[in-house]
Amino acid sequence: MDPRLGRMASSSLAFLLLLEGGMFSPSSPPDGLQERVFQYIDLHQNEFVQTLRDWVAVESDSVQPLPHLRRELLRMMAQAADKLRHLGATVASVDLGSQQLPDGQTLPIPPIVLADLGNDPKKPTVCFYGHLDVQPARPEDGWLTDPYELTEVDGKLYGRGATDNKGPVLAWINAVSTFRALEEDLPVNTKLILEGMEEAGSIALEELVQKEKDRFFAGVDYIVISDNLWLSRRKPALTYGTRGNSYFTVEVKCRDQDFHSGTFGGILNEPMADLVALLGSLVDSSGHILIPGIYDHVAPLTEEERNMYKAIDLDLEEYRNSSQVKKFLFDTKEEILMHLWRYPSLSIHGIEGASNEPGAKTAIPGRVVGKFSIRLVPHMDMSVVDKQVKQHLEYIFSKRNSSNQMAVSMVLGLHPWITNVKDNQYLAAKRAIKTVFGTEPDMIRDGSTIPIAKIFQDVIQKSVLMMPLGAVDDGEHSQNEKINRWNYIEGSKLFAAFFIEMAKLP
Ligand code: MN
Ligand code: MN
């Protein structure tokens, strides 16, 4: 090897990055701030893991409406508020009153924590959203370790909430606290909004965001969410879109009671036969939705987009094996990802009143309700979709000449979200990822719906960045949820590097 190469590699790295990336800024500021920050995070990683252990130890389950769990949730929010106050933040815990359950029980809604660090008008203000409530977890569900005692095995930190979403929230706080500990000026103003009801439908969040629009959010320039996962185990990702969802019910009714099939079979239009025909008219065996006009407003595929899909790191074989599916509808990585992210899909979820319990029951259901939903993508319009679905089902039903009654309703509607990957903060995030991980991120979307991104985009009208930290196999909501120590620690560095890159933006 040419000995000059070795020397060049270390002394001219910043210069090379500059060449390679065109407008790329040098990977580290001249004063070595970034190196000191990274070093501090490496040296103090056990403390950061310990804080995560303290947070995971709180059973902040928002899903089960039980008074003792609600108390834990309140304790979690108070603990986070304390932590932020110790960092010098101005913290408000917004009381959201209480929640009345169908059984008459009243439970307090955990406060939303609003924290504010710095208001230097020369710096950009970046607001981080996260949630501290978790899905239920019981040891008897098949956890190999106590879900509320963070346990490290082979570099994996197992515990409920480790990746969804306590780990990423703490990574942001770790990044802030590192600048504080080094007595360095934070490169950005940062705010945090932390809620405790995300897993229970973010009760009261949108209302609060509306109310705080001209107060807490007044000076906010950018919003960052870190509440999803990479597509890979090792390669970082940035998320720039999520699908929406419109959920339908279609009821077919003859009468409220069931019939005996021996006494009525043969002389009736059976509601179930009508419903099966209706549901069977929605989608064909290649996954194509058969509702006329449904694809009319789907954004056309651009060449640039096609290239983005090509660059994504996805091991199809492993994906197939881990999902235990013999064959998907599509054979290439690109087609599979596009049909998960940028095309709509229709799923049939179930039938109410279908006597689905085991046994050879001979009733004819008198009334059945079919349930299906359509995952929406840009630029589909929910009210147009609603009309198209109703028209289509009415047409199919009318062709049957059935004497039953049919009623279709859209019971839930969530808009898709997409952002511009050329937004400033996406560029800054890419640079930070390059610095910490030495690679370009996968540019990904999420096939499911994450309503908060759209809420922030609509209400605050600022750029929303989704920057996940967890690996694809973290098992959110599942038994043995974990975050890798590597993801948690490098993720803390990533947020710190992101602050530095954000400060460099014009
Ligand atoms: Mn989450
Ligand atoms: Mn979750």
Helix 167-181 / helix 45-56 crossing angle, nearest 10 deg: 140
Q: What is the pTM of this model?
A: 0.88
For residues 195, 201, 207, 213, the Cα torsion angle rounded to the nearest 10 degrees is 50
Q: How many CB atoms lie within 10 A of CB 248?
A: 23
> What's the CA-to-centroid distance between 339 and ligand 1, angstroms?
23
Ligand nearest to the CA of 62: 2
What's the fold here for domain 244-298+343-414? Alpha-Beta Plaits (3.30.70)
> What's the CA-to-centroid distance between 199 and ligand 2, angstroms?
6
Ligand nearest to the CA of 131: 1
Distance CA 473, CA 476 (A): 8
Domain assignments of the chain as residue spans, ordered by start = 31-242+417-503, 244-298+343-414
List all residues 6 or more positions away from 432 whose beta carbon is below 8 Å from its beta carbon: 494, 495, 497, 498, 500, 501
Provide the pLDDT for residue 30: 53
Q: What is the pLDDT of residues 141-166, one digit of tens each?
A: 999 999 999 999 999 999 999 999 99
In words, the CATH class of domain 31-242+417-503 is alpha beta
Q: What is the pLDDT of residues 461-496, one digit of tens each?
A: 999 999 999 999 999 999 999 999 999 999 999 999
Given a contact cutoff of 8 angstroms between Cβ atoms, the answer to whether 34 and 179 are in contact is: no
Q: Which residues are catalytic?
A: 133, 198
pLDDT band for position 8 (50/70/90)?
very low
pLDDT at residue 285 tops 70: yes
List the shell of residues around ion ligand 2, using CB closer than 5 Å: 164
Q: Mean pLDDT of all residues in the chain?
A: 93
pLDDT at residue 504 tops 60: yes
Name the token pair of 395: 């047409």
Q: What is the pLDDT of residues 255-274, one digit of tens each?
A: 999 999 999 999 999 999 99
Ligand nearest to the CA of 475: 2
Provide the pLDDT for residue 270: 98
Provide the pLDDT for residue 27: 47
Ligand nearest to the CA of 135: 2
pLDDT at residue 12 tops 70: no
Mean pLDDT of 102-118: 95
Provide the pLDDT for residue 14: 39
The 3-state DSSP composition of the chain as helix, strand, coil percent (nearest 5) reads 40, 20, 40
Domain 31-242+417-503 matches domain 244-298+343-414 at the CATH topology level: no
Q: What is the pLDDT of residues 196-219, one digit of tens each?
A: 999 998 989 999 999 999 999 999
Provide the pLDDT for residue 291: 98
pLDDT band for position 29 (50/70/90)?
low
Provide the pLDDT for residue 9: 36
| 195 Cα distance to chain centroid | 14
> What's the CA-to-centroid distance between 135 and ligand 1, angstroms?
9
Distance CA 165, CA 173 (A): 13
Provide the pLDDT for residue 318: 86
Name the token pair of 375: 């995952």
> What's the CA-to-centroid distance between 476 and ligand 2, angstroms?
6
Distance CA 297, CA 367 (A): 35
> What's the CA-to-centroid distance between 160 and ligand 1, angstroms?
11
pLDDT band for position 450 (50/70/90)?
confident
Helix (H) or strand (E) holding 114: strand 112-117
**Which among 414, 282, 401 has a CA at the least distance from the CA of 348?**
282
Q: Token match 């710190």: residue? A: 496
pLDDT at residue 5 tops 50: no
> What's the CA-to-centroid distance between 34 and ligand 1, angstroms?
29
